[in-house]
A and B are shown apart, each in its own frame.
Chain A
Amino acid sequence: MKGVAIVVGLFALLALLGPELAPYAPDDDDLEHILEGPSAAHLLGTDEIGRDQLSRMLHAARTSLSTVALVLAGALSFGVLVGSIAALRGGIVDEVLMRITDVALAVPNLVIALAILGFMGAGTTNMVFALMLAAWPAYARLSRTLIVQIKRRPYIEAVQLMGARRTWILRRHLVPAVLGPVLVYATADAGFIVVSVATLSFLGLGVQPPTPEWGQMLVSNLQFMETRPELVVFPGLALTLLVIGFNFAGERVALDRVPRPLSKRALARRRKEALA
């Protein structure tokens, strides 16, 4: 959990402070200094209409990260909600919800998102919404399976016997138990969503041009790859770090759930406690 907290915290900090640290406005063009290499005035150089690359990257941090966070938060909450209802209600409700989930899972997420955007029109908000709708089924499926596994455990039945409502059991026992595995999945999914945002923005369906976004910057600067490679390399690097960061964080969470032998110090402490 600590690993995820650190990675997410660092990126959150970047999203929060990035635009404040930027030396220029992201759409501040300067046609006398186009496609310049790194200099003291423009640390990462300028793009084809003289906008400061560093400033755009820092502003893009907020766009890229907030879209990913929104998509994940939405997909995760909705998915876990659907999964919980299916698992707890059972019967026909479970059957219907899970068949819908199966159908949605059978189609690639990007295709679903494209179809929804085709229907709703382009734009950042629509893209976030479309990606949420594409991403939730995996969370529903995962949380349903986990809840079905633990809802019949005696310790849950004991809580039923105390006279607790279903919502109490869900809130205090089932959702917390599901959250670990779901977060692991979400960290892996984050990488995929980053790439989806970039792809959709490249297609002109997501974040719209003057607003900087890493994926979209990378793609639109591709034409200058040979003259000014840094215009492509740095957005690419940012995306790569984001994806790798989330994947490492996810792995960390997954590994934390695997039992390990006690360290010598922990072992000594246990012994002392047992003898006391």
Chain B
Amino acid sequence: MNGRLVVDDVHVRFGDVVAVDGVSLDLAPGEILGLVGDSGCGKTTLARVIVGLEQPQAGRVFLDGEDLTALRGARRREVRRRVQLVFQDPESSLSPRLTIGQTLEEPLLVAGMRSRRERVKRVTELLELVGLPATLAGRRPRALSGGQRQRIGIARALASKPDVLVCDEPVSSLDASVRAQVMNVLLDLRDELDVSVLLIAHDHDLVRQASDRVLAMAAGRLGSPAQALQRR
């Protein structure tokens, strides 16, 4: 396996519960890989392992050949930045205390962008990228709709210039009418930025429409989508 992102035989247990039971997959540059599965099958845990929020008991995650699970300290922070997560719930994934502009500015500050003017310019670019007007920068999350918030979540992930974007149920908490909008934003981004996307969802139709390739997950293991569909 030699994709941009390679997941190699990852196992995660929480006490007696096996959440991820030996999952391997790889993601090519610019590819959208769909991952479907019912609730509780370990999709979210796998996403969290890939972005580094969860440490696997066994197995490794490689980005361009570098083992992410073995990294520590400053190097870890630097490399981890290139794998970003779009959260499931747009409500809790934005700080209620910060304005949209401040939220989008934060990754730039962390990455060491000193010039205020440059940051403001980049925030405007990011908003444009996800199809939102620059005037939103002064608002707080609660003044935004769910779809707008989710697009801010995507813009924040993009601010770190990731190579891989992991989207964990990016539209499941949104209205049907807004889903298409947000999905289109994701698809356009892949074309514009050459970012690889791991699209995780329980909605088979949505994932199949958007993805280049689809994998299915059940009870912590990967299978073919056909098997997963038969089970339903």
List residues of A whose CB falls within 8 A of some B CB: 153-155, 157-165, 168, 172-173, 176-177
Contacts and interface: CB of A to CB of B under 8 A. Distances in A.
Given A154-B89, A154-B93, A177-B97, A159 B53 contact: no
Interface of B: 51-53, 77-78, 80-81, 83-85, 87, 89, 92-95, 97, 103, 106-107, 110-111, 153, 156-157, 159-160
Contacts of B52: 161
A158 B156 contact: yes
Given A154-B87, A162-B81, A162-B110, 14 more contacts: A154-B89, A155-B92, A155-B94, A157-B87, A158-B85, A159-B110, A161-B51, A161-B83, A161-B160, A163-B77, A164-B110, A165-B77, A176-B97, A177-B97
Contact of B160 (A154, A163, A165): A163
A172 B156 CA distance: 16
A162 B92 contact: no
A155 B140 CA distance: 14
B111 to A, nearest CB: 7
A95 to B, nearest CB: 19
A153 B107 CA distance: 17
Contacts of A168: 110
A161 B92 contact: no
A51 B150 CA distance: 69
B106 A161 contact: no
A165 B51 CA distance: 16
A165 B106 CA distance: 12
Contacts of B157: 158, 161
A173 B77 CA distance: 18
A153 B93 CA distance: 7
Q: Chain A: interface secondary structure?
A: helix
15 contacts: A155-B93, A155-B94, A157-B87, A158-B85, A158-B93, A160-B53, A161-B51, A161-B81, A161-B83, A161-B84, A162-B111, A163-B78, A164-B106, A168-B110, A177-B97
A65 to B, nearest CB: 31
Nearest to A155: B95
Contacts of A176: 97
Interchain residue pairs A-B with the least CB separation, the first 7 = A163-B77, A154-B93, A162-B107, A163-B81, A154-B87, A155-B95, A162-B110
Contacts of A172: 106
B80 A163 contact: yes
Nearest to A160: B53
A176 B52 CA distance: 26
B156 to A, nearest CB: 6
Nearest to A154: B93
A267 to B, nearest CB: 13
Contacts of B110: 159, 162-164, 168
Given A154-B87, A158-B156, A163 B92 contact: no
Contacts of A154: 87, 89, 92-93
A232 B159 CA distance: 65
A157 B53 contact: yes
A161 B157 CA distance: 9
A177 B52 CA distance: 25
B30 to A, nearest CB: 21
Nearest to B166: A161
Contacts of A164: 77, 106, 110
